[in-house]
Amino acid sequence: MATIKKFQVTFDCADPERLARFWCEVMGYVIEPAPKGFDTWEAYHASPEPKEPLKWFSCSDPSGVGPRLLFQRVPEGKVVKNRVHLCVRAGIGLVGDERLSTLQAESARLVALGAEQHRVLLADEENESCIVMLDIEGNEFCLD
């Protein structure tokens, strides 16, 4: 039996392009190429041909290591806490005040992009500090 090595993470959302561009800034990802026949997404949007609003938008890790992120438009809004969330590993190998300071700096960068800092979880006997964030559509993710 083959072992799956690649996967994508799919987000249900209201505005696929906006959310994809946000996550590109968070993760250092790049937007995937525009539809066939267009050199850029800007050219696609500026074209006179009739088109429906984008139903999906995607981005990927330019190094090819991380998973592809797909954002698909759905009619309903977010209602409850995510059952799955991304953990953005901003503090790997750091502990104590150095870790918290690094996470707070990354939180400030993401807040400037439109994210919201939801909750700071301070280190205890079992866990190091992490920060729970909300992306621009209210999806939870962690800085850890």
pLDDT digits (tens, 9 = 90+) for 45-90: 778 765 666 788 899 999 999 999 999 999 988 888 888 899 999 9
Q: Round the average pLDDT of the chain to a whole number and report it.
A: 91
Domain ranges within the chain, ordered by starting residue: 8-73, 86-143
Residue 136 and residue 64: Cα distance in Å, rounded? Answer: 25
Task: Give 141's strand partners.
Answer: 86, 133
Please report the pLDDT score of residue 50 as a whole number: 56
Position 52: which residue type? E
Mind listing the pLDDT tens digit for each residue in 32-42? 888 788 888 77
**pLDDT in the model for residue 52:** 66
Cα separation, 96 vs 79, in Å, equals 34
- What is the pTM (predicted TM-score) of this model? 0.86
Q: What percent of the chain has pLDDT over 90?
A: 69
Residue 81 neighbours by CB under 8 Å, 6+ apart: 140
